[in-house]
Amino acid sequence: MSIVEFRNVTKAFGNVTVLKEVDLNIEAGEVVVLIGPSGSGKSTLLRCINALEEIDGGDLVVDGISVREGRSKVRLIRQEAGMVFQQFNLFPQMTALANIAFGPRRVRGVGKAEAIGQARELLAKVGLADRGHHYPSELSGGQQQRVAIARALAVKPKLMLFDEPTSALDPELRHEVLRVMQSLAEEGMTMIVVTHEIAFARQVGSRLIFMEGGKISVDGDPAELLDNPENPRLREFLQHVH
Amino acid sequence: MEFDWSVVVEAMPALLSGARLTVLIALAGLVGGLVVGVVAGFMRAYGNAILNAVAFTYVEVIRGTPIVVQVMFIYFALPLLADLRVNPMTAAVTAIVVNAGAYIAEIVRGSLLSVNKGLKEAGLALGLPVWKVLAYIVGPIAFRRMIPPLGNQFIVSLKDTSLFIVIGVGELTRQGQEIMAANFRAVEIWSAVAVLYLIMTSTLTLILRVTEKRMRIL
Ligand SMILES: Nc1ncnc2c1ncn2[C@@H]1O[C@H](COP(=O)(O)OP(=O)(O)O)[C@@H](O)[C@H]1O
Ligand SMILES: [Mg+2]
């Protein structure tokens, strides 16, 4: 069974159809890199997976649960699918450590001491062991994003969704976030990553998907597609992002 | 004319008892107003269409009418309409609760809506139910942002208690008025009354300053 299954999914905002009858299966362990022009529906596709957007047609099954099954089931999906946002969205009133411990405590009901202990381990894993007591406003963008990744991992998801995790960062801060994502992929985490980082797609991705106009138009092996893009619009797109 | 301090000294016990009543009405009104305001504010920000419409109507009616009219209505009109006997003190506290509640509702709504939508999504994305997102993430941030405008409203409401002179509540302004009517020492009495109000409002300001300092306003 696939961990994510889009079956003929349609999503519209008002009378603008943003996802058009999308079919897509993602297996556990895959690292899917999603690229495409702005407005092609990449974020929307990602946000449908954890039901931050409600689908209008078809069905979408995540880890055996349909997004249409109702609120409590949707919460289960969200616990299995961690999300990292372009703007980090760390909780500003909490320290880095408290941000990470928050999910386990309030979602999984883990005790305080245990949650803090786990948070420390995760903070070390993203290379910020000495920053636990800092508030988000006291961290650089790259550090904030690494804390945000740790916060999502703390709930122990089976799947991680990244929506342009490095787009809000200065170029010299991007690699520290990409490195954390790469080590996560090497540990076998299932990942769906919207990004313009073509080098990351080639090195880390196991699958590349090119979206345009709410549809998946190219889907295949990253190295093959990047070296020899047969689709003319993909070829043009790659010239622009390089 | 000469400022006669003995007039102030003589008037002080009555004025202080009036000030006590002012503080009492204001305190009861603000606690009640806060409760009403928070409920109505959440209804406006997160309620369904019906809750939203109820809260909206309440806020519009109260903000659209003078507080003097509101307290007169409660004290004189309500007994006729509903066969309810209200004493002046109950009418005064009710008026402050209802009045401050409407303004506080708007403060609460504005603060809730000022919190970045991404934070709510981040909370939901962890798998939290909406009420926990509001209780642990959006609520605390909004609360910090409410303190300055709430302080403003508290001071306005405290001074609004002086309008209850119209229904004969023996608060500070009323006490001043009565003493003045007996001894005609307008300068001494109204100076003393003004200073007593200033002491009350500046104490409130001080409390709010300290609260604000203790919480990082985000
Ligand atoms: N909440 C929304 N309300 C209305 N339109 C939206 C909303 N979110 C996205 N859209 C529209 O949907 C289309 C796809 O958006 P999005 O998924 O964000 O694209 P991408 O991430 O590929 O840039 C765009 O035309 C965008 O304007
Ligand atoms: Mg996007």
Q: List pLDDT tens digits, range A171-213.
A: 999 999 999 999 999 999 999 999 999 999 999 999 999 999 9
The two beta strands, A207-212 and A31-35, are parallel
**Residue A13 CB–ligand 1 contact under 6 Å:** yes
Band (pLDDT 50/70/90 cuts) for residue B214 is confident
Q: Which helix (H) or strand (E) holds A212?
A: strand A207-212
CA angle A104, A106, A107 (to 5 degrees): 65
Residues 6+ apart with CB under 8 A from A28: A3, A158, A190
Q: Which of A88, A200, A219 is nearest to A150 (CA)?
A: A88
Q: What percent of chain B has pLDDT over 70?
A: 99
- DSSP letters for B7-68: HHHHHHHHHHHHHHHHHHHHHHHHHHHHHHHHHHHHHHHH--HHHHHHHHHHHHHHHTS-HH
- Measured between CA atoms, the residue of chain B closest to residue A92 is B218
How much is the pLDDT for A242? 65
The mean pLDDT value of chain A amounts to 96
Around Cβ B178, how many Cβ atoms within 10 Å? 15
Per DSSP, helices labelled H in A65-158 are: 71-80, 96-106, 112-125, 141-154
Band (pLDDT 50/70/90 cuts) for residue B36 is very high
How much is the pLDDT for B211? 85
Q: List residues bridging with A180 in a β-sheet.
A: none
How much is the pLDDT for A132? 95
Q: List pLDDT tens digits, range B137-193.
A: 999 999 989 989 999 999 999 999 999 999 999 999 999 999 999 999 999 999 999
Q: Which of B92, B211, B195, B89 is nearest to B150 (CA)?
A: B211
Q: What percent of chain A has pLDDT over 70?
A: 100
SS3 assignment, position B109: helix
The bound ligand whose nearest atom lies closest to the alpha carbon of A42 is 1
Band (pLDDT 50/70/90 cuts) for residue B108 is very high
CA B93, CA B75: separation in Å to the nearest integer?
A: 11
Q: pTM for this one?
A: 0.87
Residue B218 pLDDT greater than 80, yes or no: no
DSSP summary character for residue A170: -
Residue range A18-41: average pLDDT?
A: 97
φ, ψ (nearest 5 deg) of residue A158: -90, -10
Around Cβ B151, how many Cβ atoms within 10 Å? 17
**Residue A195 CB–ligand 1 contact under 6 Å:** no
How much is the pLDDT for B1? 76
Asked if A109 is an interface residue toward chain B (Cβ–Cβ < 8 A), one would say: no
Start-to-end CA distance of chain A, whole Å, equals 36
Cα-only R_g, chain B = 21
Q: List pLDDT tens digits, range B51-97.
A: 999 999 999 999 999 999 999 999 999 999 988 888 999 999 999 99
CB A81 within 8 A of CB B127: no
Residue range A96-108: average pLDDT?
A: 96
Ligand 1 centre to CA of A19 (Å) is: 10
Pocket probe mutation, ligand 1, options A18, A49, A192, A209, max atoms within 8 Å of Cβ: A18
- Measured between CA atoms, the residue of chain B closest to residue A152 is B126
Residues 6+ apart with CB under 8 A from A45: A6, A19, A22, A34, A211
What tokens does B138 get? Answer: 């959006």
The bound ligand whose nearest atom lies closest to the alpha carbon of A209 is 1
**Residue A70 CB–ligand 1 contact under 6 Å:** no
